[in-house]
Chains A and B, each alone.
Chain A
Amino acid sequence: MTEKVRSKIDIHLPQSATAGDVWAGFRQVERIHIELTQRYKYSLGKVSRFFIELEQGRFFATRCAACRKVYAPPRPLCPDCLAVTDWVELTGEGVVKTYSVLHFSPGSNDDVRALETPYILAYVLLDGADTLFPHLLKTSPDLAHTGMRVAVAYSDQPAHHPIHLMYFVPIADSSKTK
């Protein structure tokens, strides 16, 4: 059947007319498809250096010049002091403070769509940092645990978003440090 409206899905009709229905003349409801796609020129902003260093296999955070708090992920401005921060390099090793095993992918971009489920979203306190860094922990869900020692691994696969130039992996024998 050829539809005059190419995007038409269906026309819904009520199962039965109700006596006294004030909307009786408005009960046919048609549905169509509308499709929009957007492509953004998206700035990574003042924290761009984090991603640029990541390409070179280096992990950077920022430190408040006033209170010395170290932010990973980096913040260009310390929200406690409203002081501009400085870049500091970290070793990339740290400890899992909490995590979840996701059995679906939010499909945020092509990097995330490519993930095999289930996967682990871990919150890692990097050595020398004061905040937790959320990212993928690539290990068996059965092995993941709070207190696990992990390290940043640098991906050699091209990524759509530069955050996927890294992920976390367990450090050998990390279970002994639980």
Chain B
Amino acid sequence: MPSPPVVAAVGATPIASEHRGGNLRDLMTEAVLDCLADAGMDDLSAVEHGLTSYESDHFNLQMTLGAILHDTIGMIPKPNVRIEGGGATGALALRTAWAHIQSGLCDSILVYGCEKNGRGLSSRTANQLFALSADVDWEMMAGGAYTGFYAAMMRAHMEAYGTREEQFAHVAARNRRNARFNPGAQKPMDISIADVMNSRPVAEPYKLLDCSLLSDGAACLLLSTEAWARAHCPAFHKRAPVYFTATGCGSDTMRLGDRYPELSNFRAKRAAAAAAYAMADISDPLAQIDVAELYDSYSGVEIQAVEDLGFVERGQGGASVAGGIFDLDGALPVNTSGGLLGRGAPVGATGILQAIEVARQLWAAVDPRRQVANARRGLTDTHAGIASISVVNIFERRD
């Protein structure tokens, strides 16, 4: 296997419930220009390939958005591919870009993702469209909704392992507090566990503040061989090289009920982590990973994730989270960006935003109040549906 690709440069817009400064093309343009500035490049003429990352033709009211954005940012006539993988879209896009570089198909690829999930549609229509990503005949039409599926999983976790609502409220409060130190975050809040517990029920046991955000935003990551970055990105040598060293992907049934008897945890996440750890030669993830962005679509999902990623034993997620080991001053800080709960989640950009946060942590380039000291290796965890597709990507600083 050739030397892994490097994160040559990154860029993003602030994440917001509704960007009033422009439409999706405008947001993507701003993120790409931000990435160019980060690279110290004047234009994209040297970049060989494009990769567009977005989920929904419905939310964005535009099909073939990949071709349109590719045109908008001046990548014509270079090759392009659009990736969709539900909530995992951005991470799957990066995994696909990794394969493009590793195969030798190209030495540089611009991964750019965006979504308008914010207030372009009424919450009723937004709920309806998101329900389309469930099984239409057997779940959506019966009255099912993702908040309900996740809630039923969390109930199973609580009944199997004694996990408590206060424990996942810890995640909801901590991630929104972390977002206070991220100027690009959508919903920084200085809230307590009690605030979460007192918020109104949405799908029991989940309450309003246990639920992540609907967001508008765009993000961009330039992935390349190290030699390409040194030749074409004037700013690359100014910071330690960060390599995209490993990627794993797993899948599971669309419907929760088809997973019986396992209802409490994510099989796909275990498979993705196992593949990524094998590639990165990781045997003790809690000790060998310094910082991680986890897919906190709902607060309890982070508890399930720390188990399925092998950070703690099955059933220990609730106690370990509440004990603070994943807080900013803990053994393995997670969701330093604020996560989906605090930073926001414009779907096609989410996995890219997670990778950007990890890269900036490894460069020691974030606000000191959320900076993890001496971070050398970071992980992103991203999934679609109730982890019907799961992607784990690993980044390492080597200097």
Contact = CB atoms under 8 A, between A and B. Distances in A.
To the question of whether A and B form a pair in one complex, the answer is: yes
Interface of A: 12, 14, 23, 26-27, 29, 34, 36, 44, 47, 71, 73, 97-109, 111-112, 115, 118-119, 121, 123, 125, 130-136, 141, 146, 161, 163-164
13 contacts: A98-B153, A100-B149, A100-B151, A100-B203, A107-B124, A107-B125, A109-B141, A112-B141, A115-B143, A123-B256, A134-B139, A134-B257, A163-B141
B204 interface: yes
Contacts of B125: 107
B128 A98 contact: no
Nearest to B23: A29
Given A44-B137, A100-B151, A123-B256, A106 B159 contact: no
Interface in B184-214: 200-206
Given A102-B203, A108-B143, A163-B142, A123 B127 contact: no
Contacts of B245: none
Nearest to B157: A98
A125 B260 contact: yes
B325 interface: no
What size tier do the contact residues of chain B reach?
A: 35 or more
B207 to A, nearest CB: 9
A29 B22 contact: yes
Contact of B258 (A44, A100, A131): A131
Given A104-B127, A132-B260, A134-B256, A121 B152 contact: yes
Contacts of B143: 102, 105-106, 108, 111-112, 115, 119, 121, 135-136
Interface in B281-333: none
B263 A97 contact: yes
Given A123-B263, A163-B141, A163-B142, A101 B127 contact: no
A129 to B, nearest CB: 9
Nearest to A34: B61
Contacts of A103: 200-204
Given A100-B152, A118-B201, A121-B142, 4 more contacts: A29-B20, A98-B159, A132-B257, A134-B142
Q: By CB atoms of chain B within 10 A, which of A104, A107, A131, A134 has the most?
A: A134
A102 B148 contact: yes
